[in-house]
Amino acid sequence: MSDACCGPQGAAEPEAGPEKLWQVRELQFATLAAVLLTAGWFVGRAGFEGAAHAVELAAVAAGAITFVPDAIRNLRHGRIGVGTLMTIAAIGAVALGQFAEAALLGILFSIAEGLEHYAVSRTRRGLRALLSLVPPKASVLRDGGEITVAPGDLVVGDVMVIRPGERAATDGTIRSGQTSLDLSAITGESVPVEAGPGSDVFAGAINGGGAIEVEVTALAANSSLARIVHIVEQAQERKGAGQRLADRIARPLVPAIMALAVGIAVVGAVFGDPMLWLERALVVLVAASPCALAIAVPLTVVAAIGAASRHGALIKGGAAVEELGRIKVVALDKTGTLTRNKPRVIDVVTTDDFSADEALRWAAALEARSEHPLAQAIMTAAGDAPTASDVTAIPGHGLHGDLDGRRLRLGKPTWVPPGPLAADVERLQAAGATVVVLARDDVPVAAIAVRDELRPEAAEAVSLLKRLGITVAMLTGDNTRTAEAVAAEAGITNVHSELLPEDKAALLRTIAQGRPIAMVGDGINDAPALATADIGIAMGAMGTDVAIETADVALMGEDLRHLPQVLAHSRRARRIMVQNIAFSLAIIAVLIPLAAFGVLGLATVVLIHETAEVFVILNAIRAARITALPGVSAIAVRSTTHSIDIGPAPTLDDPCCGPQSTQSPAAKLNLPLVAAEAASNDHGCDCCAPAGPPPAGDPTASTETNRR
């Protein structure tokens, strides 16, 4: 906060930040200055004026040490900020013999700086709690025996032994054993997940059942938790529209204030008492300093994103927070969003010449290499099946390929004509099932009905969205009958069915009707729509690289009620941003004329100005509060040390502007990672802008296009 250009300094501060108020450096010096100022007052009352002035000057030095060095450093770089204004005002007050006023300025400014520092550290502590979920040790099978190693020593292919009550040190796949996994600290959902051989285990998951053996699939540095921490760190530094507005105001305001102060001093010297008007000019410098404006939005963003991350929602920056707060329309994908994403075959209708087992076997042969949820349901129902050759997927329609010299086609009834099975297809669709038709040598032989049950909380989530005044629509590639049946059960009347992926994207603007719209999908199949919407929200994104990297918001859990929760949370955060900006500008507008005409003196202006700044800080901290859903737990904040290499940290090329382009070697950290505050460029100077866009993610995961 000491510089409106380049933000907080203090590169030497520990990354974890102070956990207690008395540990904050600025508050320590402010207390020392206050003690010295009080002592100087008593010495002066005792009649020792010279000694009193000396003690007051010491108080000035103690209070100013928190911001004057940074201001001088910034001046060497040709940058002028709030710290510069305060430094000039302090020096001017000393020159005018107002030692007590100069000391009071330093004390109050240091207190405000210290409170901001503490507030940022506090709001980021929830993020650090994520890394505390990694246990300090892990049991692993090596050389025929079980040994204990640090999480950072695990390698891909190791087999971890996780006993009941223990946490997973990194991501892996269960090789043996049956259990239930508690993912509440990661996804925000307290309902355990049943897991067995082949199930994924994420770092930080608690084994709630029997002992399991888990094959490591990712280094601790690349685990799901490490990715989440990195993403949230980066998100806290990204600017939204409100923050950019504050920047646009603050950037020209500082030099304008200095010009105004010089003008007041010059005009006053010509037409009045030069010393009187010089003093008023110094008071104007303090009155117009945009300290509160500079922190109005950044602190709110940090608090809001940190709170959301503790409740299973990753919000990608201030822009996403603000845009979420404006959302009036939500478009929901059906499969995997409104439904459980665990479809199963409920019926197989065949012609007289073939059996249901034969039909499932042929359908599974086409689906053998598909990752589509319907494919998995068919393969599970079929059991062992051969693999067809020359299989080609037709996006939005289905598959075709060869098996035993016969041509097979499997897909939507609109692509594969059901022929004599048409009545059965209509009946199954009316029952809410998704139906695919199998043809052999262009002759329909079977209709396979698959149904994905609606999430139990879907209707409640839709109701909560409507209570927020949000219009809800459902977009799906499924047939109209099935879509309407599912939508009716969820309480949605605006239904759009039989859509190709590109159709969903094109339809969003029509649904929105000029209002801000969010698209909620799985982050992969609905990629075009997620990218087109004002905000793309990935549902159930835990462990999905593509979803986490591409969506503006990633809901880590499977509880759909997280959606209205994060929308309500963002609305509240946006209101706080607007309140802070309006209040900051109002204080400046009121204080400037009062200071210029001598109504308020330096001490009074400093007190009012810094009190307003404290109010903005406290108001911003309110964005860290979020109401947990029933049956949902927030991550408990703990202070735990770790030794996990989770990637290189940026080096400071410039003490003012923070990290630039170079990277230092990866270092082993004994504290959870948090982003350096100086890197944020929160206060709007172009001197600290990055040279280019951040490196794009390189997701390699592939999946089949939503084709049904």
How many other C-beta atoms lie within 10 A of the C-beta of residue 30?
A: 24
Distance of CA 619 to CAs 18, 250, 319, 683, 684, Å? Answer: 20, 20, 19, 18, 21
pLDDT tens digits, residue range 483-535?
888 899 999 999 998 887 778 888 998 999 999 999 998 755 676 788 788 88
What is the fold of 135-220? 2.70.150
DSSP-derived secondary structure for 468-505: TT-EEEEE-SS-HHHHHHHHHHHT--EEE-S--HHHHH
pLDDT tier for residue 545 given thresholds of 50, 70 and 90: low
DSSP-derived secondary structure for 275-294: HHHHHHHHHHHHHT--HHHH
- As its CATH architecture, domain 313-337+455-566 has 3-Layer(aba) Sandwich (3.40)
Cα 678 from Cα 654, distance rounded (Å): 10
Query: 353: which 2 tokens?
Result: 């010449």
Query: 325: which 2 tokens?
Result: 């707060």
pLDDT exceeding 90 applies to what percent of the chain?
Answer: 20
Residue 699 has pLDDT above 50, yes or no: no
Cα 112 from Cα 135, distance rounded (Å): 37
Backbone angles phi, psi at 258, to 5 degrees: -65, -40
> 435 and 498 in contact (C-beta within 8 Å)?
no
pLDDT tens digits, residue range 246-268?
556 666 767 777 787 788 878 87
Q: At what angle do helices 373-382 and 356-367 cross, to 10 degrees?
A: 140
pLDDT tier for residue 568 given thresholds of 50, 70 and 90: very high
Average pLDDT over the chain, rounded to an integer: 76
At position 483, the amino acid (one-letter code) is: A
Higher pLDDT, 400 or 610: 400
Counting runs of H as helices and runs of E as strands, what totals does the chain give?
22, 24
Please tell me the predicted confidence (pLDDT) of residue 326.
Answer: 92
pLDDT exceeding 70 applies to what percent of the chain?
Answer: 76
Query: Active site residue: 171, 182, 333, 478, which one?
Result: 333
CA nearest 678: which of 694, 660, 664, 696? 660
Please tell me the predicted confidence (pLDDT) of residue 628.
Answer: 63
Domain ranges in the chain are 17-133, 135-220, 223-312+570-625, 313-337+455-566, 341-453
Residue where the block lists tokens 């501060």: 13
Annotated active-site residue 333? The verdict is yes
pLDDT tens digits, residue range 207-233?
887 889 999 998 888 887 777 666 666
pLDDT tens digits, residue range 281-316?
888 877 777 777 777 777 788 888 878 877 878 887
The structure's pTM equals: 0.64
Give the range with max mean pLDDT: 154-163, 175-184, 188-197, 614-623: 154-163
Beta bridge partners of 25: none
Q: What is the mean pLDDT of residues 433-455?
A: 90
pLDDT tier for residue 130 given thresholds of 50, 70 and 90: low
pLDDT tier for residue 644 given thresholds of 50, 70 and 90: very low
DSSP-derived secondary structure for 181-221: EE-HHHHS--S-EEE-TT-EE-TT-EE-SS-EEEEE-S-GG
Q: Which residues contact 353 (CB under 8 A, 6 or more apart)?
A: 445
Backbone φ/ψ region at 158: left (φ over 0), alpha (ψ -120 to 50), beta: beta
At position 15, the amino acid (one-letter code) is: E
Residue 463 has pLDDT above 80, yes or no: yes
- CATH class of the 341-453 domain in this structure: alpha beta
Q: Which residues contact 690 (CB under 8 A, 6 or more apart)?
A: 660, 681
